[in-house]
Amino acid sequence: MTRIQTSAPSPTPTSLGDLFKVASTSYGPTAFGLVCFLSIWFAAVKPTLENNRVDTAKIQLISDKLMEAAQVQNNTAQLLKPIAERLERLADRLDLHSKGPTR
């Protein structure tokens, strides 16, 4: 009967450096890189993206409100234009009458 030799169990890592060393030798550099990438992604990138998504929604809401305000101002300007023209003509008439006849 043939016995298969097994390697001795690896020691439990006691520090973060030991954990990285065991992970890189046991799983290879690709798996170690993937674990590091995912750790950074979930710790830093994902929360930042979620915060930016909220900011984008707020910016869109503000932009919509500003577009509405601009439309209201445009409508108001269109309504006031004939009144302003009439007042301008009236001011011209009053100016002519206040100067009196010219010689």
**Contact criterion met (CB below 8 Å) for 24 and 36:** no
pLDDT-based confidence at residue 26 (cuts at 50, 70, 90): confident
User: Is the predicted pLDDT of residue 4 greater than 80, yes or no?
Assistant: no
**What is d(CA 77, CA 67) in angstroms, rounded to the nearest whole number?**
15
User: Is the predicted pLDDT of residue 8 greater than 70, yes or no?
Assistant: no
**What is d(CA 32, CA 46) in angstroms, rounded to the nearest whole number?**
20
Could you read off the pLDDT of 34-65 as tens digits, one per residue?
A: 888 889 988 998 988 888 777 888 899 999 99
User: Is the predicted pLDDT of residue 97 greater than 80, yes or no?
Assistant: no
CA distances from 101 to 55, 94, 97 (A): 66, 13, 8
Within 8 A by CB and 6+ apart from 10, the residues are 22, 26
